[in-house]
Amino acid sequence: MGHKLDDRIAATYYGCKISHPTYGIGVICGILHRNIYLLKGQHGPVEGCDIDKCQLMLTPLSKITDEDASKIIHIIWNNSTFHRPTNGKYIAENLRTVDLPIKVGQIIAEYLRSPFRADGTSKPVYDLGFGPIESLIEAGIAIDVTNGELV
């Protein structure tokens, strides 16, 4: 372990829910000089807090929804024949090792890190790790929201 949330990781998951022991749960709405700004509620208030004490709130790739898994297949093939959630789940769970064109991999990663679908409905934000860290949840930088382990 020994890892903490930093500004690079937080920027990669911008818009994600985050937990802080004092300020509670909010959405990342700004990062400045080792401080993270949380939007609490739909219209505020905004709280600034030390980034080292925050944890992202993510869903493990192993718990990807059928809808999101189907979207991954749609991004790759854009063909309804291949829209089986099992194919998308395999690709999501093995995103670091599956041989995909770089642009396709980037589009999938952006989708999985986004808190919203194209129609504006909310969706889980998935743990894609960061750099050499394969899982932010396992590294202690994030909380698995499916386990209810909230600070």
Which tens digits make up the pLDDT trace of 84-112? 667 788 888 877 788 888 888 899 999 99
pLDDT (mean) for 57-64: 94
pLDDT (mean) for 116-123: 87
Closest residue by Cα to residue 23 from 60, 48, 52: 48
Whether the per-residue pLDDT at 22 is higher than 90: the answer is no
Q: What is the mean pLDDT of the chain?
A: 85
CA 137 to chain centre: 10
Domains along the chain? 7-60+129-144 (2.30.30), 61-113 (no CATH)
Q: What angle is formed at CA 84 by the lines to CA 83 and CA 87, rounded to 5 degrees? A: 105
What is the pLDDT, as a whole number, of residue 37? Answer: 85
- How far from 130 is each of 6, 41, 112, CA to CA, in Å? 11, 28, 13
By percentage, how much of the chain surpasses pLDDT 90? Answer: 38
pLDDT (mean) for 17-28: 88
